[in-house]
Structure 1
């Protein structure tokens, strides 16, 4: 049964939010809330409070899979990373009281810049700037993995031993949760084979670090001006301690080479990085290896895991669409998108896709 209440109306009770913020931040006459529609996971709202431009992050309304959309985790890691070599937005507050807006949420300061999704900013549209952008993205990932987690209070942020085994198990469960709600008559051809292959091919992780969990080009904010510079890394809801190459595999899943065919889901997987000047996936992996000191091995496993993870995420999107818990047109397109990703994962295993 779909939810009859308008989706946007379910995101925030502005009266209660204003009362809460007044108690935490002080009274103001200037208050406004605007829903930012560009994201596809946790919901983002822009909040003007006095002379401050803030960002509110909350889970989507409606039923979600266990452990998905953990904004408390997102806030904790960004709060810990203030002042480190990893740029993150300044944090403001975290509220776990569901009675305020209907869910937990947090606030951070808004960071100026561009989020690059399906095309490049004009100021970077030269071979030189494109090369710099690719290097900046990899170098920031290496900086995340180089952090001393004990020194920033994240030494107990996760259970790094067995991380990859748990990732395989977790995303199988997320997929099962979603598939139980989408109830495709034909199922997802290839799903069982991909899951079996992943379970049988988990490598030993070379070392454990802080991992972002969703690191890719559209989860960084590029500062204004040139050359390319990352002003903030955002969307930390899947962060933990684990195997750093899982982050690299995920990032490279969303990086398109010149020789590639059209991405399985063009709305999520941009192809502009095939243009002249952008490094290839292989070149980005080599730069990561140089900057991090981590040997890039078992690339087939990490790219297959990334592809299957995205397939599970997309099937959760489709489940939310069927339940009426999203008005995002992308979610409806996952009727065809998820099967394409499962097929892509099979191609990675077969060696016809990769880096």
Structure 2
């Protein structure tokens, strides 16, 4: 495991960053920078600038897979959505000068509230609040997919035609990148079979919308107080123009119903959503269809694609751990987590298990 302090030093030269930020934020007598250990892709740093609180986002240290960790793409999306009904943090600045901290980065205002990652806050522990959490989550996804992306300056943000097929190809490539290192530890032949099934079953026609790319319960923040109100959506690094059902399938991968098997990656896949009051996956799908007018066709494909993508991410995490390029305590768990997820995904294909 990489030492936390030494890894933070690799992420940011504090003196150089302070000098750069002074030109944008003004001088500060007190500056504190800490690393957030809950994010598992791009790095999240908390920045206290006197009495102001910000978040700095940058790629992880070391070599990364091609097209992954694009923080300036993330910034562009959040900045474009500032005046829409999609709840996003307030942007501050972006920087493409890699001499400042060794990579591109951006800064946004720190939002106050709770992220429901491992558990629900006590104030939400009632059926009516749990029901609203599900409604807020799926309604905000519907807002993303309803954005007039040309009007907010994102007309050139992607190539929605053929998006889903490219997703399959992309995640096969991401897995191959990870396998360059991880196959020396163990091989996962199930992922080859899953990739072949996806290639054979990819839908050729789909809606064209703005997509988040990583939309799930622990990538949104609920404001303080009750009833639950979704105040901000985070982690837009994979956002583009494409197939909205890829977002829906991804969100459902991380939603646990009563009777589901134990999660393959328990630190990423919580189970508290099976408690009384939370909507089922079917109820979430029905609400999404009503709000968007988009039917969730080819559901099995999108469930399998979501799990395949998670396996790809997990394997990339494991490579970064093996190369000493992360201080994330989650990454070594992928040695067993990815093979288990691959087994569960094959069961979906064969009709023995639903996600």
Q: Do both share a fold (TM > 0.5)?
A: yes
2:102 matches 1:102: yes
Cα deviation for residue 85 of structure 1 reads 0.3
Task: Specify the SS of the correspondent of 1:190.
Answer: helix
Task: Specify the SS of the correspondent of 1:6.
Answer: helix
Q: 8 Å contact 2:222–2:230 — kept in the other structure?
A: yes
Counterpart of 1:117 in structure 2 is: 117
Q: 8 Å contact 1:90–1:108 — kept in the other structure?
A: yes
Counterpart of 2:137 in structure 1 is: 137
What is the RMSD computed on CA atoms of the aligned residues? 1.5
State the distance in 2 between where 1:89 and 1:185 align: 40
2:269 matches 1:266: no
Deviations 1:54-100 (A, max 9, x none): 10000000111001111000000000000210010010000111111
State the distance in 2 between where 1:110 and 1:328 align: 22
Counterpart of 2:343 in structure 1 is: 343
State the distance in 1 between where 2:51 and 2:23 align: 17
Counterpart of 2:213 in structure 1 is: 213
Cα deviation for residue 5 of structure 1 reads 8.9
Q: Gaps (5+ residues) in structure 1?
A: none
2:62 matches 1:59: no
Which one is further off, 170-179 or 30-39? Answer: 30-39
Counterpart of 2:328 in structure 1 is: 328
Deviations 1:27-50 (A, max 9, x none): 222322111111111111111123
Task: Specify the SS of the correspondent of 1:128.
Answer: helix
State the distance in 1 between where 2:5 and 2:52 align: 31
2:182 matches 1:178: no
Q: 8 Å contact 1:114–1:224 — kept in the other structure?
A: yes
Q: Give runs of aligned pairs for residues 154-193 of structure 1, distance below 5 A.
A: 154-184=154-184, 186-193=186-193
Q: 8 Å contact 1:289–1:296 — kept in the other structure?
A: yes
State the distance in 2 between where 1:241 and 1:174 align: 20
2:186 matches 1:149: no
Change beyond 3 A, Cα 1:231–1:90: same
Task: Specify the SS of the correspondent of 1:39.
Answer: coil
Which one is further off, 43-52 or 83-92? Answer: 43-52
Change beyond 3 A, Cα 1:6–1:241: same
Q: Give runs of aligned pairs for residues 78-93 of structure 1, distance below 5 A.
A: 78-93=78-93
Aligned residue pairs total 354
Counterpart of 1:7 in structure 2 is: 7
Q: 8 Å contact 1:299–1:354 — kept in the other structure?
A: no
Q: 8 Å contact 1:175–1:315 — kept in the other structure?
A: yes
Q: Gaps (5+ residues) in structure 2?
A: none
Q: 8 Å contact 2:3–2:327 — kept in the other structure?
A: no
State the distance in 2 between where 1:328 and 1:152 align: 35
Cα deviation for residue 330 of structure 1 reads 1.1
State the distance in 1 between where 2:233 and 2:132 align: 17
Counterpart of 1:319 in structure 2 is: 319
TM-score normalised to the size of structure 1?
A: 0.97
